[in-house]
Every structure is written in structure tokens, then in C-alpha cells.
Chain A
């Protein structure tokens, strides 16, 4: 058992004890330890990857939302534009109709007025004729009652009407 000469007994016991430790711990300690560590690492890895996946998904969703917003905005604009156009069209149509109606009303009114005017004029003419006849009648009656005058008148008329 000198310092640099290995003893058989210690070699035997070292080999035996080392192999004992190796065999026993490999079976009963390292296996559960390394398995548990591996399981933990896997679960961490999975959690990390799933979280990054979720992040990506959120990113995609965000983009989708943004796109949808854009689309909605565009749609809104087109709708407003369309509505405006429709309103303008409707307005102009209505205006046209109204104008036509107005024209028609005005025309018919003018016609009516003309008719009324004509009727009124006819009425006035009739009245004037009536009054004229009445006046003439009255005048004639008075003139005819005066003989001298009649004669004079006849003479006058005769004078005027030269027999040529």
C-alpha cells in the first residue's frame, strides 16, 4: 500500500462501489430526475412556442381588424357617395317634375285667365251693347218725339249725303 503502487483491494472496492452507484442511481435516480427535467424543459418550450404562436395570431387578428376597418371605411365612403348621388338625382328629378307641374299650372292658369278675360270681355261687350241699345233706344225715343228736329236731321243727313 505504497503511495504510487495501487493496491488490489482498493481497486476491487472502488470498482465495485462505483459500479454499484452507477447501476443503482441510473435505475432509481437519474431516470426520474432526467425525465422530470426533460418534461419541464419540454413544457417550458411548448409554453414559449405557444405564447409566440398566440402573439403571431394576435398580430394576424390585428391585421385582419385593420383590413376590416379599412374596408368598412371604404364601404362607408362609397355608401355616402352613392347616397349623395341618389339624393342629387332624386332632387333634380323632383325639381324637374315640380318645374313641369309649375309650368303646367302656370299655363293652365294663364289659359283660365285668358278664358276668364275673354268671358269678361264678352260680358262687357254684351253689357256695352245692351247699354248702347238702351241708350240708343232712349235717344231714339227722344229724337223721334221732336218733329222739327227730325226734319232738320234729315236735311242735315241729306246735305251730307250728296247725291252723286
Chain B
């Protein structure tokens, strides 16, 4: 089911990203001042240095953009990585790309969402971008939720769960009983359970934060999904048993010439499994955002009342569906991670 879903979403994604002009050709042709859904959508699903909230027009008819200023942290170097400088300033300093920022010898310019150093120096960008800020918010919520639950468990001991406890306990138990134990096994699951629980809630909470209007598309960012997929890759291969490695390099039960052919395929499998994790989460979440935003764009493109009346309920339905997708993709990512870890931990018996 998830594969089919992935394919459908991917088709959506590709069609929107590669050829948006087909859908919005007329709109683009009109030029300045008109609403451009492609720009709006692409701008939304991409990361940003500030947290854009809304635009307004002042009495003079001038447009102003209101956004939360976020810290920009840049490590700028020339030649070798060792002798660079760390520059920290606020995203407001760019005034939405209208002004350059001078920091010591370095002059920075914000151009179409990219920061460049005018002297041609290289930049390592560790800015607290919109996605990072949203992620920090999710971490804060995670801490609040889990410390509150942990406190309740400490206070109430083995008594029945209450309040927030009774909402999260079934989810934690589900991760333990239906994801960790069946895939990793009764004996070894405990070591990996904290990782799986963290993975699930980290992805879920970030998915949910992404659904809030003006929210960031953190879990739909390829860097986010790649990092988590790499964690699963590392855990899988570090904890791999002798049996796992022997299966990889010298597949038993296969004729000798075939083993040589199977070897690169198996080695490729090490990468493709987490790669699929990365793409799946990225595509599903990003596609969800694109669909909702595209639907909303219809209203601004057609500027007709009946379009709004029709699109409104569809957007609500789609958003509700995205709430399901948020938890479902967190589940899939966690489940597959557990499955890969379980496969690597398998002993000699089949």
C-alpha cells in the first residue's frame, strides 16, 4: 500500500516540480503583480532564513513582509577549512535580500534564498533556519510531553495511566509490542527501543508541526530525512551479526559464479534500503504540502467565489488526510528501521 502511495505522490511531486508551467502557464504569462503559485509553493516547501508569517500592504500601497528573524550562523573560509571565521547575525539584517551584511572582512548577500560571500569565499551554513527553528520547537514539545509523562509514571508508579499518559502509553507500547519485538526479537529489542521511540515521535511531531499554516516543511526536507536514514543505516550495519555480513559478501546456497554477481547487488542493498526510507518520507510529506498549497492556489488563480466554496472542503479533507499521513509515515519509517535492524541481527537459523 505504501509503495503505491509513494508512487502516486511521487508522480504528483515530479509533475508539479518539473513542469509547473503547464498548470499555471496563463498565470505566468501575465508577469508582474499577478499571483504565481509555483513560486509560492516552492518557496514554502524550501527552507528559509527567516520565519515568514504574512504580508500586508501599507497606506502607500507598498508591500511589507512580516517574518520572525532567525539567527544566521556562517563559517566562512578561503582555501583550507582550518582558517575560517564564524559570523553570526540575524536574518533581519538582510532586509529580505535588499541589503548586504558586512561582518569583518566578509560581505554577505542574500540572493533568492542563497547566501553568498561577495569576496568569493566558501561558506558552511549552520544557520538556525525556519526548519531548524521548527525542529527545535518539536524538540521542546517532545521534552515537555515526555518529561510530563515520565513524571506521571514516577509519581503514580504501576498504577493505571491518566491524562497525557493514557494517550501516549498505547503508542509507546505499540512501538514496543508491534514494531520492535516482532522485527528485532524478544531478546535484543530493548537496546534499540529508545532509538525507535525517538524516531517515531521525532518524525511524527515534525510532520504535525509542518501541517500548521505558515509552518516549516522540516520533515519534508531531504536533509532531515537523509540524516535519519543515515542513523538507521549506521545502526543496522554497526550491529550487524557475523551471519548478516557473511550473507552479504558470500551468500550461501548460491552457485559460486552467481555469488560474484550477487555481491554488488547485496552491497547496493545496504544503501538502497535507507535510501528508500529517505525518499519515502521526503516525498510523502513534501507532496502533501504541495497538494494542499496547490488546492489553495486555485482560489487565488481563478479568483472566483465558487472555486473557494469547492476547494475549501477539499483542502480540509486533504489536511485531515495529511494528519493521517503524518503518523502513518512516522510509523512506516520506524517499522522499516526496525525491520532492517532485525534483519542485520538475524542469527544462523532461518
Instruction: Report if B337 contacts A (CB, 8 A).
Output: no
A40 to B224, CA, bound (A): 37
Q: Is B298 part of the contact surface with A, judged by Cβ < 8 Å?
A: no
| Stretch in contact with the other chain, from A27-35, A106-114, A129-137 | A27-35
Contact in complex: B228, A25 (CB < 8 Å): no
A-B contact count (CB 8 A): 121
B residues contacting A by CB (< 8 A) are 17, 42, 45-47, 73, 113-114, 124-129, 131-132, 135-136, 139, 142-143, 146-147, 149-150, 153-154, 156-160, 169, 172-173, 176, 193-195, 197-198, 202, 221-224, 226-228, 231, 286
**B150 close to A32 (CB less than 8 A):** yes
Which chain B residues border A39 with CB–CB below 8 Å? 157-158
Tell me if A34 and B42 are in contact (CB < 8 A).
no
| Min distance, Cβ B116 to any Cβ of chain A, angstroms | 12
B residues near A36, Cβ cutoff 8 Å: 153-154, 156-158
In the complex the two chains form, is B125's CB within 8 Å of A7's CB? yes
Q: How far is the CB of A3 from chain B (nearest CB, A)?
A: 6
Q: Which residue of B lies closest to A39 (CB)?
A: B158
Give Cα A9–Cα B224 distance, bound, in whole angstroms: 10
Asked, given contacts A21-B198, A25-B194, whether A3 binds B227 with beta carbons under 8 Å apart, the answer is no
Of B47, B156, B194, which is within 8 A of A30 by CB?
A: B194
Q: How far is the CB of B291 from chain A (nearest CB, A)?
A: 15
Given contacts A25-B198, A29-B147, A33-B172, A14 and B222 within 8 Å (CB-CB): no
Given contacts A7-B125, A9-B129, A25-B194, 20 further A-B contacts (CB under 8 A): A1-B46, A1-B113, A3-B222, A6-B222, A9-B124, A10-B129, A14-B135, A18-B198, A18-B228, A18-B231, A24-B143, A26-B194, A29-B146, A30-B146, A33-B169, A34-B172, A34-B193, A36-B156, A36-B157, A36-B158
In the bound complex, residues from chain A placing their C-beta under 8 Å from that of B286 are 3
In the assembled complex, which residues on chain A have CB atoms less than 8 Å from the CB atom of B194?
22, 25-26, 30
- Cross-chain pairs A/B with CB under 8 angstroms, 30 sampled: A1-B46, A1-B114, A2-B46, A3-B17, A3-B42, A4-B222, A5-B222, A9-B127, A10-B221, A10-B224, A11-B223, A12-B126, A13-B132, A13-B135, A14-B227, A18-B202, A21-B202, A25-B198, A26-B198, A29-B146, A30-B193, A30-B197, A32-B150, A33-B150, A34-B176, A34-B193, A36-B153, A37-B173, A39-B158, A40-B159
B158 to A28, Cβ gap below 8 A?
A: no
The CA of A43 and the CA of B126, in the complex, are separated in Å by: 49
User: Is residue A17 within 8 Å, beta carbon to beta carbon, of the partner chain?
Assistant: yes
Of A15, A17, A35, the contact of B139 (CB 8 Å cutoff): A17
Q: A10-B132, A21-B142, A32-B150 are in contact. Are A3 and B45 (CB under 8 A)?
A: yes
Is A163 in the interface zone, CB < 8 Å from B? no
A119 at the interface (CB under 8 A from B): no
Q: Is the CB of A25 within 8 A of B146?
A: yes
Measured in the bound complex, the distance between the Cα atoms of B195 and A6 in whole Å is 23
Give CA–CA (A50, B117) in the complex, Å.
74
Which of A10, A25, A26, A40 is B223 in contact with, Cβ under 8 Å? A10
For B228, the chain A residues whose CB sits under 8 A away are: 14, 18
What's the nearest-Cβ distance from chain A to residue B81, in Å?
Answer: 12
Whether, in the assembled complex, A120 has its beta carbon less than 8 Å from a beta carbon of chain B, the answer is no
Interface residues of A in 33-51 (CB under 8 A from B): 33-37, 39-40, 43
- Nearest CB in chain B to that of A20: its residue: B139
A8 part of interface (Cβ distance < 8 Å):
yes
Q: Would A14 and B223 be within 8 Å (CB), given that A21-B198, A30-B197 are in contact?
A: yes
Q: List the B side residues contacting A3 at CB < 8 Å.
A: 17, 42, 45-46, 222, 286
Out of B42, B135, B173, B176, name the residue touching A17 (CB < 8 Å).
B135
